[in-house]
Amino acid sequence: MIAAAKIDQDTGLDSPRDEDAREAFKMSRADAAEGLILDDEGLRHRRCIVTGEVQAESRLMRFVADPDGNVVPDAAARLPGRGLWVSATRAAVAKAVEKKLFSRAAKAQVNAAADLPDRAEKALLARILGDLGLARRAGGLLLGFDNVLRALEGNAPPRLLIEARDGSKDGKRKLYAAAHRLERNCVVVECLTSAELGVALGRENVIHAAVQPGGLAERLIFDAQRLSGFRASQPRNEGPRADAREIESPRADVRKNESPRADASKNESKS
């Protein structure tokens, strides 16, 4: 792995560069301040302030201190300020609050409220539901058992299967079996309830859904993997690949953008 702080000295801000290159340089410096580490495949890693473990960003949640010194969740990893990265689990965030680890990592006195794990979960949920709405409006979302099954059997299979965690086991098993039999490269997400899916999609009793390949599907996988860490203790139906956390990272051609800051990642690779 290499630290993002390693920047060519011949390409400083005083050298003639276009605006995009200058912006990429600044983003690289900001990421370096937060301890960004890139592996040999370009996958972005950070160090958790609770465990000290270096993990992929898909396993972490970013927090920042607002102007009043209150720690807030940053699901999109875009808020200004120095990022404080914590493993994307309820237990890790709760420990960071209890042990005042946010202040230690920030090297300043900041206030982390006891409800921070709940707020982090809500921030991830809102981001996921918003992206589901975008996928539907873009025509990239399929709803209902029959539509999902036809897509799996067709020439353009979905990238992502979404199953309501409180839905019937029987329908899920049939879709899992079809995906396995047809050797579809699908990720299964089962960390949302039927009611939550209904809110995002404007209809009741949503149990089965699928998202076609593309940027939205990859972002949904990324965020669902993190959300599942806040819901791991909740009961869920048995079944293969029960939530995105149990799925290994997406296809190799997608792993380099394994971050909410996808555009920034592309620019950094050129710095």
**Angle at CA 37, nearest 5°, toward 40 and 119?**
130
pLDDT of residue 1: 56
Domain count, the chain: 2
**Spatial separation of the C-alpha atoms in residues 206 and 123, rounded to whole Å:** 21
pLDDT of residue 175: 95
Summarize the chain as % helix, strand, coil (round to 5): 45, 15, 40
Domain holding 172, by residue range, is: 119-255
**Spatial separation of the C-alpha atoms in residues 176 and 162, rounded to whole Å:** 11
pLDDT of residue 34: 76
Residue 233 placed within a domain: yes
174 band by pLDDT with thresholds 50, 70 and 90 = very high
* Residue 179, both tokens: 């995906």
Q: Count Cβ atoms within 10 A of the Cβ of residue 85 and give its class: 0-12 exposed, 13-18 middle, 19 or more buried.
A: buried
pLDDT (tens digit, 9 = 90+) per residue, 223-263? 999 999 999 744 333 333 434 433 333 332 333 345 555 44
Let me know whether 64 and 33 are in one domain.
yes
pLDDT (tens digit, 9 = 90+) per residue, 157-170? 999 999 999 998 99
Let me know whether 52 and 148 are in one domain.
no
Provide the 10 A C-beta neighbour count for residue 14.
6
More confident residue, 199 or 261: 199
129 band by pLDDT with thresholds 50, 70 and 90 = very high
**Spatial separation of the C-alpha atoms in residues 267 and 28, rounded to whole Å:** 9
Provide the 10 A C-beta neighbour count for residue 113.
12
pLDDT of residue 46: 93
Indicate the helix (H) or strand (E) that contains 130. Answer: helix 116-137
Let me know whether 92 and 217 are in one domain.
no
Residue 262 placed within a domain: no
CB 121 within 8 A of CB 90: yes
CA nearest neighbour of 230 among 107, 135, 50, 92 = 92
Among the candidates 114, 136, 165, a domain finishes at: 114
The answer to whether residue 26 scores a pLDDT higher than 60 is no
The answer to whether residue 11 scores a pLDDT higher than 60 is no
Let me know whether 126 and 152 are in one domain.
yes
At a CB cut-off of 8 Å and minimum separation 6, what does 153 contact? 178, 182
In the predicted model, what is the mean pLDDT of residues 1-29?
A: 44
pLDDT of residue 240: 37
pLDDT of residue 261: 52
Residue 77 belongs to a domain with what CATH number? 3.30.1230.10
For 89-104, the DSSP string reads SHHHHHHHHHTTHHHH
The answer to whether residue 87 scores a pLDDT higher than 50 is yes
pLDDT of residue 158: 97
Let me know whether 31 and 61 are in one domain.
yes
Mean of per-residue pLDDT scores for the chain? 81
